[in-house]
Amino acid sequence: MASKKMALLAVAAGLLCMSALLNGAEASCGGFTASCQGPFSVTGSILSADCANDAGNFAFSSLDLNSFLSNDNGNLVEGNDYIATCTPEGFAPIGSSFFVYANCAQEDGTVVSASYDINNNVSNDNGVLSWHSC
Ligand SMILES: *[C@@H]1O[C@H](CO)[C@@H](O)[C@H](O)[C@H]1NC(C)=O
C-alpha cells in the first residue's frame, strides 16, 4: 500500500514538473505567434507585430533580427549581421512556423535562397518581442 502511494506521488510530482517545463518553454522559448497578432511585418531585418502583454492588451513591438542571425555559407544560423551578406526577401507565417526568407551569398559568391523559422526563437515577453536560444 505504502509503495502504491509513493508511486502515485511520484507520478503527480512528475506531472507538475512537466507542466512547469511546458509553461516555461511557452514563456521563454519562442512561440510569439501564439500571443501576437498581425499585421506582422519584416522590413529589412526588423520584425514587427502587435503583442499581448500579461494584462491582455495588445501593443506594437519590434525586434531587429540582424542581432541574432548570421549567414554561414548561404545558410541562416545563430550569430549576427546576416544582412551584411544577405538580402531580406520577406516572410511567411505557416502553421506554427514563421519563416523569414533572404537571398544569401555563399563563400564563392553564389547567391542562394535561405529561410529560418524564427518562431522557435522569438517569444512574447509581456508584450515585448524578444529572442531566446533554448
Ligand atoms: C533557435 O532556437 C533553437 C532551439 O530552440 C536553437 O537550436 C537555435 O540555435 C536558435 N537559433 C538561433 C539563430 O539562435
**H helices of 29-130, where?**
none
Q: Is 68 in the pocket of ligand 1 (CB under 6 A)?
A: yes
Q: Give 28's pLDDT tier (boundaries 50, 70, 90).
A: low
pLDDT of 114 > 90? The answer is yes
Domain boundaries, given as residue ranges, for the chain: 29-131
Q: Is 45 in the pocket of ligand 1 (CB under 6 A)?
A: no
What is the topology classification, in CATH, of domain 29-131?
A: HIV-inactivating Protein, Cyanovirin-n (2.30.60)
Ligand 1, atom 10: closest residue by C-alpha:
133
Which residue in 111, 91, 87, 112 sits closest to 101, CA to CA? 91
From residue 16, alpha-carbon distances to 3, 4, 34, 71, 123 in Å are: 20, 19, 23, 40, 23
**H helices of the chain, where?**
2-28
Q: Is 91 in the pocket of ligand 1 (CB under 6 A)?
A: no
Output the pTM of the full model.
Answer: 0.79
Q: Give 29's pLDDT tier (boundaries 50, 70, 90).
A: confident
Cell output for 50: 502587435
